Structure 1
Amino acid sequence: MSECIDLQFNGGLATLTLAQPPVNALDRHLVGELADAVAQVRDSEEARALVVTGGPKVFAAGGDVKEMLGWGYRTAVRSSGALGAACDALAGLPVPVIAAINGYAFGGGLEVALAADLRVCATDAKLGFPEILLGVIPGAGGTQRLPRLVGASRAKDLIYSGRTIGAERALQLGLVDHVAEPDAVLKTAAELAEPYLRGPALALRAAKRAVDRGLETSLEAGLELERELFAGLFATEDRAVGMASFVADGLGKAEFHGR
């Protein structure tokens, strides 16, 4: 049984809740259980989308600073590597991942949110990378995923300053994709996920792979990957169903089965 994570499956939607009061500090226990929960979603035949949340009051603080006080180089490498691997696994899930952010997402908590495909935050949410004010930098993907999302200069401004920003500024920057009232954040995330539960799972997987892998390589290699994935989908039942449904009834009427 997990002590720090609540993972639920309901009709194709998996919901992963960080549950370590009071602030979901990402100590080694929570990070280990996060990695285990992500693996469960990856291995599930049921999950078509995942919502990651920290509950109604806070998404996640960063690492446990008290725990970090005694760290040396090797411990820092091992610990940042563990959280980084959990974030990489979350980002690498073949299903769409949506982060639902209430309260605040700081440091490692924001790195977890950045590993999602989309982010919804509350109107009163606060986000930031305060590591520089502790004499360090983000160590589990923040310096790499943030500039790819909002651009290098905007990412540097946030990382260099350590300042926090609110929901509207996060939306302006493209750090989050939707803003909702605090009591509607999880509902909004689930509503965003709902079309993916009925959509063509193999095409969604291919689309995610094309975008994510394409960003990691040259344009030429990305275009070749796109062509390969596009052509491969012509061997799927969903492609045949989708195109036949379009010809017969128009766009958006197909019932897909993930085959």
Structure 2
Amino acid sequence: MNFENILIEKENAISTIIINRPTKLNALNKATIEELHHAFKSLNEDKETRVIIITGSGEKAFVAGADISEFASFSTSEGAQLAAKGQELLFDYVQNMNKPVIAAVNGFALGGGLELAMASHFRVASDNAKMGLPEVTLGVIPGYGGTQRLPQLVGKGRAMEMIMTAQMIDAQTALNYGLVNHVVTQEELLTFTKGIATKIAKNSPNAIKEAIAAVNDNFKDGVNGFETEIKNFGACFGTADFIEGTTAFLEKRKAEFK
């Protein structure tokens, strides 16, 4: 598939998706969300890709929000459908990917941009990053999972304050809140993130897939994450990765997962 709004770069086992709408500060419109869905789906099925990094083009923005012009005239039903479709195609899809997704947050991550970063499995930010959910200034609330994932990451009180004030926080505050795992300079961002991705790529792809599912189930209503962990732990014993990993350990060598 040919993309108009995103770029994909592959380096060894790491694939990087770059949202490329610099004149719009990489804002998410319907077309970009659909392209991102297809890109993630393709890379999830790509046997050579073990880790995916998502970032924005340029130095100003990861994603500066949604494209407001697309939904300014929507009705209540159209608004609900916009949120439902976006969550299905992109935000929930990313969270439940079999492969790890790391958000490299460069610059502004606002509204849908922060929601995309939060849907990723974890985040690394540049020191000039600014994050926030400004939706209430437009008379709406976050619709792509922001009211759910932000409290999970930073706690209810901080999430309520961020959502209700619509204020941005800087990278250091995001680090203190636990919203991002690391803060580095803009110049170091992708190199540093790829360094983490390289470490992940050396480990068992199957075990990582099972771990993602188990951790995610801890946050689902009516699902017992401990039961998922037990089931997925057992499932690992029937895989080639388990045989290679345990054999390599006993033979005192590094495992080579295929």
Q: Does TM, scored on the shorter chain, surpass 0.5?
A: yes
1:121 aligns with 2:125: yes
Which segment is superposed worse, 106-115 or 37-46?
37-46
SS across alignment from 1:257: coil
1:241–1:254 contact (8 Å) kept in structure 2: no
Question: Are 2:143 and 1:139 equivalent residues in the alignment?
Answer: yes
CA positional deviation for 1:12: 1.5
**2:200 corresponds to which letter in structure 1?**
Y
Q: Give % identity.
A: 33
Partner of 2:256: 256
Tell me if structure 1 keeps the 8 A contact 2:249–2:255. Answer: no
Q: Number of aligned pairs?
A: 254
- 1:54 is aligned to 56
Equivalent residues of 2:94, 2:120 under 8 A apart: yes
**Partner residue, 2:66:** 63
Correspondence for 1:160: 164
- Partners in 2 of 1:50 and 1:164 — Cα distance? 26
Cα RMSD, aligned residues only: 1.5
Provide the residue aligned with 2:82 in structure 1. Answer: 79
Pair 1:29-2:31 in alignment: yes
Question: Residues 211-251 of structure 1: CA distance to partner in whole angstroms, max 9, x if unpaired?
Answer: 111221468x22121111111111112212222222232xx
TM-score, scaled relative to structure 1: 0.93
1:133, 1:206 → 2: CA distance?
Answer: 40
Task: Answer yes or no: is 1:245 the counterpart of 2:248.
Answer: yes
Alpha-carbon deviation of 1:181?
A: 0.1
- On the 8 A contact 2:244/2:257 being kept in 1, the answer is no
- 2: CA distance between counterparts of 1:196 and 1:215? 23
Unmatched tracts of structure 1, length 5 or more = none
Taking structure 2 as the reference length, the TM-score comes to 0.94
Kept in 1, the 8 Å contact 2:62–2:105? The answer is: yes
The alignment partner of 1:182 has SS state of coil
CA contact (8 A) 1:111 1:142 kept: yes
Contact 1:31 1:82 in 2 (8 A): no
Q: Which runs of 5+ in 2 are unaligned?
A: none
Question: How many Å separate the matches in 1 of 2:118 and 2:208?
Answer: 19
- Equivalent-residue separation in structure 2 for 1:179 and 1:56 (angstroms): 18
Name the SS for the 2:187 alignment partner: helix
1:223 aligned residue (226, 241, 247)? 226
